[in-house]
Every structure is written in C-alpha cells, then in structure tokens.
Chains A and B, each alone.
Chain A
Amino acid sequence: MLSANRLILIIAIILVICSVSSIIVSAAQSFNVEIELPDSYKNVNPGNDVWFTIKLLNLANTQRVDVTLNYEIADSNGKSIIHNTKTVAIETQASFVADLKLPENSLPGDYNINVVVNSSMGESTATTALKVSASKNDMMLYYVLAGVIGLVLIIFFVIKSRPILKKIKLKMKINKIVKDKLKKN
C-alpha cells in the first residue's frame, strides 16, 4: 500500500518535472530577434547599400545552435525586392551586421526589412521600416525637366501674346487719336 502511494507520488513528481521542462523547451525554441537600423539608413536612395544589425538572443540559453538568417527588403505590398541568407552559430546571444543593396530601379516609397531566423528550435521574425526616396540625380533631372518645360511655356506664352499685345497697343492708339480729334472739334 505504501509502495503504491510512493509510486503515485513518484509519478506525480515526474509529471510535474516533465511539464516544467516542456515549458522551458518551448520557451527556448524561439529567438528574440531585433533589427537595429541606423538613422542614416532609414531614408535611402535607390542603388544604395542598407546596413543594419541583427541581434539574436537565444532564450533557451542551452547550447550552441546553427541558425539560418533570411533577410530581405520588401515593398509595401510585401513583395521582396532583394534578399540574402546567412548561416551562423549562436550560443546565448550574438549580433550580425548585414547589408542589402537596393536595386537602382527601386521606386520611392515605404519598404520593410524583414528578418526570419530559422533553427531546429523553430522560426522567429523581426521587421523594421525603411523609406526609399527619389535619388538626387532623379530630382536634378526633374528640376531640369521642369525648368525646360517652364522655359518652353514662357516662350510659347510670349509668342502667343505678342499679337494680342500688338492689338491692345493699336486699340489704345486709336482711342487716343479719337479722343484728341474729338476734343479739338
């Protein structure tokens, strides 16, 4: 009888230990992932490199594991425009510097840097926002184009308004002739 009670107690203790262990393992399966994007890279032009740091914290804090870092830049619709993959080993925590070169033909707008960390313990993700502006060369092109269009419009206006101005001048002259002559009479 006593033996049976002891057996039940032992089983209960084993179950509790297993349950706690399961929670710890579950928690250890996810990495804490952070992306550090310097201010100077928060607003970039097409064709530029974007440098950022991926910080990983192995919450399980048990042993060295190999993880695959998948990182990408995606547009506001979630479409990846450039990506890269890296495999690294991590024990407790680590930081990795990564860079992605924006394609020259990237359109200005809002983008995201997405990082997905895959390991035998599961998958973790992180995202941070990034803005792509029109390149300075493009802006210069716009300014030049706007200048040329402005100049053409001014020339067009001057050419078009010349006959009108001549007409107004003629009308004013006639008005003066009529007034002067009628005054004399």
Chain B
Amino acid sequence: MTSQLTITAVEKLQSEITSKTKTFKNKIGIYVSLNKTQKSTEELLQKSGIDTSKMFFIDCVSKEKVREDVLHIPPEDLDKLSTAIQTFIKDIPGEKFMIIDALSTLLIYNNENKVAKFVQDITDYASENQVYVVAFSPKTQGEELLNKIFNFFDTVEKK
C-alpha cells in the first residue's frame, strides 16, 4: 500500500478527487471531508458516477447530524479525528482507501505542528494497516505545512 499527497490548483481540486476516487472502484473507502459537507461531497461523487454506498464519511464541516452513518467531528479536534480514522481503518475489513479533502483546511483551526503530527500519525497507521491514503491540498494554501509533511507520504504529486 502507499500514500500520496496531491497538490493542485483550487479549481482542479474536485476533478482530481473524483478521478482519483474512481480508481478505487469496488474498494471500501473512508472520506474525510474538510472542505465541503458530506451531503455536497456525496452528491458530487455520485454525479460523477461513483458508488458511494461503500464509503464512510467523516464530515468536519457541518455540525448537524442528518444521517446515522455519518460522523461529524469538528476540525479543531484532531485527537478525535485521528481516533475516528484509526477506528474506521481497524473496523473495516479487507482492502480500503482513504481520501482527505483537503489537508490545508486544518490549518484554519490548528497550528502547523499539530497538523503535521496528525498527518504523521494517520499516514503511519494507514501504512501499518495497508490502507491507500490520498490527501489533497490546494496549491496556494499552507505551503509551510506542505513542506513539513512531504516526507510522510510515499509520493507527492503537483498538478
């Protein structure tokens, strides 16, 4: 398994996420949504023909609980977010992937070092449990953070 950081222009972000998610076809996925609500993310993915029935959403944008199967975690609570991701990884059997959309959003609520530590914990845990991780970040945001977390990913793609 591997981990990948994709840095792309803001306007291309959604299309990159969609095309990457499509590559995982029948695998079970965890989607950490930091930019959009679960509802709008799911709608966008479904519009692109992606089956979201096998996806577990962690919604860090909306606080309102709409669906029982969606977790709402405030983006400033990185400990809780980390625990939730690790529990999903542990509980979901078989091959799985994880999308983080988008890392730099965490900088609005947390300092760089905390976010860097969070990324390190998540990529380490994912690597130990053979989970494919793809984290996205817009080009213009959080350059300092991106410099700190480059090394935690197996590959870094700049588009």
Contacts and interface: CB of A to CB of B under 8 A. Distances in A.
A131 interface: no
B80 interface: yes
B78 interface: no
A171 B83 contact: yes
Interface in B61-108: 68-69, 71, 79-80, 83-84, 87-88, 91-93
Contact of A177 (B53, B69, B93): B69
How big is chain B's contact interface, by range? 10 to 19
Most chain B C-beta atoms within 10 Å of own C-beta, residue among A163, A174, A177, A180: A174
Nearest to A178: B91
A117 B79 CA distance: 81
Interface in A128-178: 163, 166-167, 170-171, 173-175, 177-178
Contacts, number: 39
Given A167-B83, A180-B69, A181-B69, A174 B53 contact: no
A184 B79 CA distance: 30
A77 interface: no
B80 A174 contact: no
Contacts of A120: none
Interface of A: 163, 166-167, 170-171, 173-175, 177-182, 184-185
The 6 closest A-B pairs by CB, nearest first: A178-B91, A174-B87, A171-B87, A177-B69, A175-B91, A167-B83
